[in-house]
Amino acid sequence: MTDRVALVTGASSGIGEATARRLHDAGFTTYAVARRVDRMGALADTGITTFAMDVTDDASMTAGIERIVGERGRIDVLVNNAGYGSYGAVENVPIDEARRQFEVNVFGLARLIQLVTPHMRERRSGRIINISSVGGKYYEPLGAWYHATKFAVEGFSDSLRLELAPYGIQVVIVEPGPIRTEWNTLARDGLVESSAGTAYEQQAEGVRARMESGDRPALSSGPEVVAKAIVKAARARRPRTRYPVGRGATSIVTARRLLPDRALDAVISRLYS
Protein backbone atom coordinates (compact mmCIF):
# COMPACT_ATOMS: atom_id res chain seq x y z
CA MET A 1 0.00 0.00 0.00
CA THR A 2 3.00 2.30 0.46
CA ASP A 3 3.07 3.38 -3.19
CA ARG A 4 -0.58 4.42 -3.29
CA VAL A 5 -1.25 8.16 -3.16
CA ALA A 6 -4.34 9.70 -1.54
CA LEU A 7 -5.62 13.28 -1.50
CA VAL A 8 -8.05 14.42 1.20
CA THR A 9 -9.77 17.80 1.02
CA GLY A 10 -11.19 19.69 3.97
CA ALA A 11 -8.55 18.11 6.19
CA SER A 12 -8.09 20.86 8.76
CA SER A 13 -10.60 19.32 11.17
CA GLY A 14 -13.31 16.71 11.71
CA ILE A 15 -13.83 13.97 9.16
CA GLY A 16 -11.07 15.17 6.84
CA GLU A 17 -8.42 15.29 9.55
CA ALA A 18 -9.38 11.86 10.89
CA THR A 19 -9.40 10.40 7.37
CA ALA A 20 -5.95 11.75 6.52
CA ARG A 21 -4.54 10.17 9.69
CA ARG A 22 -6.16 6.79 9.00
CA LEU A 23 -5.05 6.70 5.36
CA HIS A 24 -1.50 7.53 6.43
CA ASP A 25 -1.59 4.80 9.07
CA ALA A 26 -2.89 2.37 6.44
CA GLY A 27 0.21 2.98 4.33
CA PHE A 28 -1.04 5.53 1.82
CA THR A 29 1.18 8.43 0.83
CA THR A 30 -1.28 11.05 2.01
CA TYR A 31 -1.77 14.66 1.02
CA ALA A 32 -4.09 16.70 3.24
CA VAL A 33 -5.37 20.04 1.98
CA ALA A 34 -7.60 22.81 3.29
CA ARG A 35 -7.85 26.59 3.27
CA ARG A 36 -6.65 26.75 6.88
CA VAL A 37 -3.23 25.22 6.48
CA ASP A 38 -2.16 26.53 9.90
CA ARG A 39 -4.58 24.05 11.48
CA MET A 40 -2.89 21.04 9.89
CA GLY A 41 0.38 21.24 11.77
CA ALA A 42 -0.37 18.07 13.75
CA LEU A 43 -0.96 16.17 10.51
CA ALA A 44 2.32 17.42 9.06
CA ASP A 45 4.12 16.25 12.21
CA THR A 46 3.03 12.65 11.45
CA GLY A 47 4.55 12.71 7.95
CA ILE A 48 1.41 13.70 6.03
CA THR A 49 2.05 16.33 3.36
CA THR A 50 -0.15 19.37 3.92
CA PHE A 51 -0.68 22.48 1.85
CA ALA A 52 -3.33 25.11 1.20
CA MET A 53 -6.10 24.45 -1.31
CA ASP A 54 -9.33 26.39 -1.81
CA VAL A 55 -11.98 24.38 -3.65
CA THR A 56 -13.58 27.60 -4.88
CA ASP A 57 -10.33 28.71 -6.54
CA ASP A 58 -9.53 26.96 -9.82
CA ALA A 59 -5.89 28.01 -9.84
CA SER A 60 -5.44 26.64 -6.32
CA MET A 61 -6.92 23.26 -7.28
CA THR A 62 -5.02 23.02 -10.56
CA ALA A 63 -1.70 23.83 -8.88
CA GLY A 64 -2.38 21.32 -6.11
CA ILE A 65 -3.07 18.43 -8.47
CA GLU A 66 -0.05 19.33 -10.60
CA ARG A 67 2.11 19.35 -7.48
CA ILE A 68 1.02 15.89 -6.35
CA VAL A 69 1.35 14.34 -9.79
CA GLY A 70 4.72 16.04 -10.22
CA GLU A 71 6.00 14.69 -6.89
CA ARG A 72 4.43 11.21 -6.96
CA GLY A 73 3.48 10.58 -10.58
CA ARG A 74 -0.04 9.52 -9.66
CA ILE A 75 -3.15 10.01 -7.53
CA ASP A 76 -4.86 6.77 -6.61
CA VAL A 77 -7.55 7.98 -4.22
CA LEU A 78 -9.37 11.31 -4.11
CA VAL A 79 -11.47 11.94 -1.00
CA ASN A 80 -13.77 14.88 -1.71
CA ASN A 81 -14.59 15.90 1.84
CA ALA A 82 -14.52 19.73 1.80
CA GLY A 83 -17.95 21.19 2.49
CA TYR A 84 -20.15 23.09 4.90
CA GLY A 85 -23.82 23.54 5.77
CA SER A 86 -25.66 26.76 4.97
CA TYR A 87 -28.98 26.89 6.81
CA GLY A 88 -31.82 29.40 6.77
CA ALA A 89 -35.12 30.01 5.01
CA VAL A 90 -34.93 30.08 1.23
CA GLU A 91 -36.67 33.46 1.41
CA ASN A 92 -33.89 34.91 3.57
CA VAL A 93 -30.62 33.31 2.51
CA PRO A 94 -28.89 35.64 0.01
CA ILE A 95 -28.60 34.04 -3.40
CA ASP A 96 -24.84 34.70 -3.35
CA GLU A 97 -24.59 32.52 -0.24
CA ALA A 98 -26.64 29.84 -1.98
CA ARG A 99 -24.22 29.96 -4.92
CA ARG A 100 -21.26 29.67 -2.56
CA GLN A 101 -22.85 26.59 -0.97
CA PHE A 102 -22.92 24.96 -4.39
CA GLU A 103 -19.44 26.20 -5.27
CA VAL A 104 -17.95 24.48 -2.22
CA ASN A 105 -20.12 21.37 -1.91
CA VAL A 106 -20.68 20.54 -5.59
CA PHE A 107 -18.61 22.48 -8.09
CA GLY A 108 -15.35 22.28 -6.13
CA LEU A 109 -15.85 18.53 -5.83
CA ALA A 110 -16.62 18.26 -9.55
CA ARG A 111 -13.63 20.38 -10.60
CA LEU A 112 -11.20 18.23 -8.62
CA ILE A 113 -12.66 15.17 -10.31
CA GLN A 114 -12.09 16.81 -13.69
CA LEU A 115 -8.47 17.41 -12.73
CA VAL A 116 -7.65 13.93 -11.41
CA THR A 117 -9.61 11.87 -13.94
CA PRO A 118 -7.12 12.13 -16.85
CA HIS A 119 -4.33 10.78 -14.63
CA MET A 120 -6.49 7.95 -13.30
CA ARG A 121 -7.85 7.12 -16.75
CA GLU A 122 -4.34 6.93 -18.21
CA ARG A 123 -3.42 4.36 -15.55
CA ARG A 124 -6.85 2.69 -15.86
CA SER A 125 -7.05 2.74 -12.09
CA GLY A 126 -8.33 5.05 -9.39
CA ARG A 127 -10.91 5.62 -6.72
CA ILE A 128 -13.02 8.73 -6.15
CA ILE A 129 -14.73 8.89 -2.76
CA ASN A 130 -17.34 11.64 -2.49
CA ILE A 131 -18.49 12.55 0.99
CA SER A 132 -22.21 13.13 0.75
CA SER A 133 -24.54 12.81 3.76
CA VAL A 134 -27.76 11.19 4.85
CA GLY A 135 -28.84 14.75 4.05
CA GLY A 136 -28.67 13.67 0.44
CA LYS A 137 -31.51 11.23 1.15
CA TYR A 138 -33.82 13.16 3.48
CA TYR A 139 -34.53 16.81 4.26
CA GLU A 140 -35.05 19.38 7.00
CA PRO A 141 -36.92 22.67 7.28
CA LEU A 142 -34.62 25.65 6.72
CA GLY A 143 -31.99 23.39 5.16
CA ALA A 144 -33.00 23.60 1.50
CA TRP A 145 -29.73 24.89 0.09
CA TYR A 146 -27.56 22.43 2.01
CA HIS A 147 -29.75 19.44 1.18
CA ALA A 148 -29.90 20.51 -2.45
CA THR A 149 -26.11 20.26 -2.67
CA LYS A 150 -26.06 16.80 -1.12
CA PHE A 151 -28.87 15.52 -3.34
CA ALA A 152 -26.78 16.87 -6.23
CA VAL A 153 -23.67 15.00 -5.04
CA GLU A 154 -25.69 11.77 -4.93
CA GLY A 155 -26.98 12.04 -8.49
CA PHE A 156 -23.68 13.35 -9.81
CA SER A 157 -21.79 10.44 -8.25
CA ASP A 158 -24.21 7.81 -9.57
CA SER A 159 -23.83 9.07 -13.14
CA LEU A 160 -20.08 9.43 -12.72
CA ARG A 161 -19.78 5.84 -11.50
CA LEU A 162 -21.14 4.51 -14.78
CA GLU A 163 -19.18 7.03 -16.83
CA LEU A 164 -15.79 6.11 -15.39
CA ALA A 165 -16.24 2.37 -14.82
CA PRO A 166 -14.95 1.42 -18.31
CA TYR A 167 -11.64 3.10 -17.42
CA GLY A 168 -11.06 1.25 -14.16
CA ILE A 169 -12.05 4.21 -11.96
CA GLN A 170 -14.41 3.42 -9.11
CA VAL A 171 -16.74 6.00 -7.57
CA VAL A 172 -17.95 5.63 -3.99
CA ILE A 173 -20.43 7.70 -1.97
CA VAL A 174 -20.06 7.95 1.81
CA GLU A 175 -23.20 9.09 3.63
CA PRO A 176 -22.47 10.15 7.23
CA GLY A 177 -25.29 10.53 9.73
CA PRO A 178 -25.01 13.05 12.61
CA ILE A 179 -21.31 13.53 13.36
CA ARG A 180 -19.81 15.50 16.23
CA THR A 181 -17.65 18.09 14.48
CA GLU A 182 -17.50 21.87 14.23
CA TRP A 183 -19.68 21.56 11.10
CA ASN A 184 -22.72 21.31 13.35
CA THR A 185 -21.83 24.40 15.37
CA LEU A 186 -21.13 26.51 12.29
CA ALA A 187 -24.37 25.39 10.62
CA ARG A 188 -26.39 26.26 13.74
CA ASP A 189 -24.75 29.66 14.08
CA GLY A 190 -25.50 30.45 10.44
CA LEU A 191 -29.11 29.38 10.90
CA VAL A 192 -29.62 31.64 13.90
CA GLU A 193 -27.96 34.59 12.18
CA SER A 194 -29.94 34.29 8.95
CA SER A 195 -33.26 33.86 10.80
CA ALA A 196 -32.97 36.57 13.47
CA GLY A 197 -35.81 39.06 13.26
CA THR A 198 -37.56 37.24 10.41
CA ALA A 199 -40.85 35.38 10.13
CA TYR A 200 -38.85 32.15 10.51
CA GLU A 201 -37.16 32.97 13.82
CA GLN A 202 -39.36 30.69 15.94
CA GLN A 203 -39.11 27.83 13.47
CA ALA A 204 -35.35 28.28 13.40
CA GLU A 205 -35.20 27.79 17.16
CA GLY A 206 -36.78 24.34 16.79
CA VAL A 207 -34.34 23.41 14.04
CA ARG A 208 -31.40 24.77 16.05
CA ALA A 209 -32.42 22.74 19.11
CA ARG A 210 -32.70 19.58 17.05
CA MET A 211 -29.30 20.16 15.45
CA GLU A 212 -27.78 20.82 18.87
CA SER A 213 -29.08 17.48 20.12
CA GLY A 214 -26.91 15.91 17.43
CA ASP A 215 -23.88 16.77 19.53
CA ARG A 216 -24.92 14.21 22.15
CA PRO A 217 -23.04 10.88 21.93
CA ALA A 218 -26.30 8.95 22.23
CA LEU A 219 -27.54 10.50 18.98
CA SER A 220 -24.34 10.93 16.97
CA SER A 221 -20.92 9.50 16.16
CA GLY A 222 -17.38 10.82 16.17
CA PRO A 223 -15.51 11.59 12.94
CA GLU A 224 -13.33 8.49 13.39
CA VAL A 225 -16.32 6.31 12.48
CA VAL A 226 -16.58 8.00 9.10
CA ALA A 227 -12.82 7.95 8.57
CA LYS A 228 -12.77 4.21 9.18
CA ALA A 229 -15.45 3.68 6.51
CA ILE A 230 -13.56 5.88 4.04
CA VAL A 231 -10.35 3.89 4.48
CA LYS A 232 -12.33 0.67 4.08
CA ALA A 233 -13.74 2.02 0.81
CA ALA A 234 -10.27 3.10 -0.31
CA ARG A 235 -8.73 -0.32 0.33
CA ALA A 236 -11.50 -2.68 -0.77
CA ARG A 237 -10.92 -4.57 -3.99
CA ARG A 238 -14.57 -4.08 -4.93
CA PRO A 239 -15.99 -1.28 -2.75
CA ARG A 240 -19.68 -0.78 -2.19
CA THR A 241 -21.26 2.04 -4.14
CA ARG A 242 -22.56 3.61 -0.90
CA TYR A 243 -21.53 3.58 2.74
CA PRO A 244 -24.17 4.99 5.14
CA VAL A 245 -22.14 5.43 8.30
CA GLY A 246 -22.61 6.62 11.86
CA ARG A 247 -25.35 6.36 14.44
CA GLY A 248 -28.77 6.42 12.82
CA ALA A 249 -27.53 6.67 9.22
CA THR A 250 -28.91 3.33 8.05
CA SER A 251 -32.24 3.98 9.78
CA ILE A 252 -32.60 7.37 8.10
CA VAL A 253 -31.82 5.96 4.66
CA THR A 254 -34.27 3.10 5.22
CA ALA A 255 -37.03 5.46 6.40
CA ARG A 256 -36.59 7.60 3.31
CA ARG A 257 -36.94 4.52 1.10
CA LEU A 258 -39.97 3.06 2.87
CA LEU A 259 -42.08 5.99 4.06
CA PRO A 260 -44.37 7.97 1.75
CA ASP A 261 -43.52 11.66 1.50
CA ARG A 262 -46.44 12.82 3.65
CA ALA A 263 -45.61 10.35 6.39
CA LEU A 264 -41.96 11.43 6.41
CA ASP A 265 -43.02 15.09 6.35
CA ALA A 266 -45.05 14.47 9.52
CA VAL A 267 -42.16 12.71 11.28
CA ILE A 268 -39.65 15.45 10.41
CA SER A 269 -42.07 18.24 11.35
CA ARG A 270 -42.53 16.71 14.81
CA LEU A 271 -38.81 16.28 15.31
CA TYR A 272 -38.03 19.89 14.40
CA SER A 273 -40.94 21.65 16.08
Given a contact cutoff of 8 angstroms between Cβ atoms, the answer to whether 186 and 141 are in contact is no
Q: In sequence order, which residues have a C-beta less than 8 Å from that of residue 213 and are 6 or more positions away? A: 219
Q: Beta-carbon neighbour count of residue 212 at 10 Å? A: 12
Options 86, 150, 195, 243, the catalytic residue: 150
What is the per-residue pLDDT across 185-200, written as a single tens digit (0 to 9) for each? 889 899 999 999 999 9
What is the per-residue pLDDT across 141-171, written as a single tens digit (0 to 9) for each? 999 999 999 999 999 999 999 999 999 999 9
pLDDT at 1 (0 to 100): 47
Options 31, 138, 146, 272, the catalytic residue: 146
What is the per-residue pLDDT across 7-20, written as a single tens digit (0 to 9) for each? 999 999 999 999 99
pTM of the entire structure?
0.94
List the alpha helices (DSSP H) in the chain.
14-25, 41-45, 58-72, 95-102, 108-123, 144-164, 182-195, 201-213, 223-235, 249-258, 261-271
**Candidate CATH numbers 3.40.50.300, 3.10.129.10, 3.30.70.20, 3.40.50.720; the one for domain 5-271:** 3.40.50.720
220 or 158, which is more confident?
Answer: 158
Options 12, 86, 87, 132, the catalytic residue: 132
Q: Cα(43)–Cα(11) distance, rounded to whole angstroms?
A: 9
Q: Is 82 left (phi over 0), alpha (psi -120 to 50) or beta?
A: beta
Q: Cα(165)–Cα(157) distance, rounded to whole angstroms?
A: 12
In the residue annotation, 132 being an active-site residue is answered as: yes
What percent of the chain is modeled with pLDDT above 70? 99
Domain ranges of the chain: 5-271
In the residue annotation, 125 being an active-site residue is answered as: no
> Over 70: is that where the pLDDT of 2 sits?
no
Closest CA relative to residue 219, chosen from 183, 245, 180: 180
What is the per-residue pLDDT across 21-38, written as a single tens digit (0 to 9) for each? 999 999 999 999 999 999
Mean pLDDT of the chain: 95
What are the distances in angstroms from CA 260 to CA 61, 67, 187, 190, 254?
Answer: 41, 49, 28, 31, 12
